[in-house]
Amino acid sequence: QQQVKQSPQSLIVQKGGISIINCAYENTAFDYFPWYQQFPGKGPALLIAIRPDVSEKKEGRFTISFNKSAKQFSLHIMDSQPGDSATYFCAPGNSGNTPLVFGKGTRLSVIA
Amino acid sequence: DAGVIQSPRHEVTEMGQEVTLRCKPISGHNSLFWYRQTMMRGLELLIYFNNNVPIDDSGMPEDRFSAKMPNASFSTLKIQPSEPRDSAVYFCASSFRPGIGEQFFGPGTRLTVL
């Protein structure tokens, strides 16, 4: 079942620009909303995560925005750098015994 | 901690051969996950264990795939017999809990079946 829809599939952004990746989910039981980052040849790694009690969380150039009513959350990368070029996955989950549900991924390329 | 350890890092085998992938999770983690990643299908969850017990293997593609976790520090994913369409990168990940908190991924095993 398609519990998580991530968009866009791929994204090209100029250096210094803003990258925005969106994730829509169906399961209202989700209460944990992370984004993972994967570089070529590596496993995914947690980038940033948010709980539903806040609408936004910022860590450096990375921000998660959460819209509970729309069942969406997004990743914003400010001042995008070539080193941010990677594949990004949303992976919502909950405190029960079901695992994180990974989206299909967004391949981001930041060009100079 | 050394992180999640997977072996081998690369495996090239011929169709019909048995393949065994190995994983050592991070000490103290209760949940272990096996994923497969391909360009076409993305990152797929194959099976996960909680406290060494298989909880959901609905992602295992066929009976040719099997996974075991005999103790808290070791898991295997076996493909017998292997087929060319099994070629992919296989990741093992571990966490304290299945659906919340950070999942730590290993470096992956790149499997090529000729």
pLDDT score of B65 more than 90? yes
Region B58-77 average pLDDT:
95
pLDDT tens-place string over residues A17-43: 999 999 999 999 999 999 999 999 999
What 3-state DSSP class applies to B34? Answer: strand
| Strand locations in chain B (E) | 5-7, 10-13, 19-24, 31-38, 42-50, 53-56, 65-71, 74-79, 88-95, 104-105, 109-113
| Interface probe with B: pick from A50, A102, A104, most Cβ of B within 10 Å | A102
CA–CA separation, B92 vs B46, rounded Å? 10
Q: Tell me how far CA of residue A89 lies from CA of A104, B17, B38, B49, in angstroms.
A: 7, 33, 14, 22
CA–CA separation, B65 vs B20, rounded Å? 10
CA–CA separation, A76 vs A60, rounded Å? 11
pLDDT tens-place string over residues A72-101: 999 999 999 999 999 999 999 988 778 899
Tokens found for residue B81:
């017999």
- For residue A51, the distance in angstroms to the closest alpha carbon of chain B comes to 10
| Interface probe with A: pick from B36, B43, B90, B102, most Cβ of A within 10 Å | B43
**Interfacial residues of A (vs B; Cβ cutoff 8 Å):** 31-32, 34, 36, 42-46, 49, 89, 91, 93-100, 102, 104-105
pLDDT score of A59 more than 80? yes
- For residue B39, the distance in angstroms to the closest alpha carbon of chain A comes to 10
**Percentage above 70 pLDDT, chain B:** 99
Region B47-68 average pLDDT:
94
Return the residue matching tokens 């450096």.
A60
Answer yes or no: are the C-beta atoms of B68 and B75 closer than 8 Å.
Answer: yes
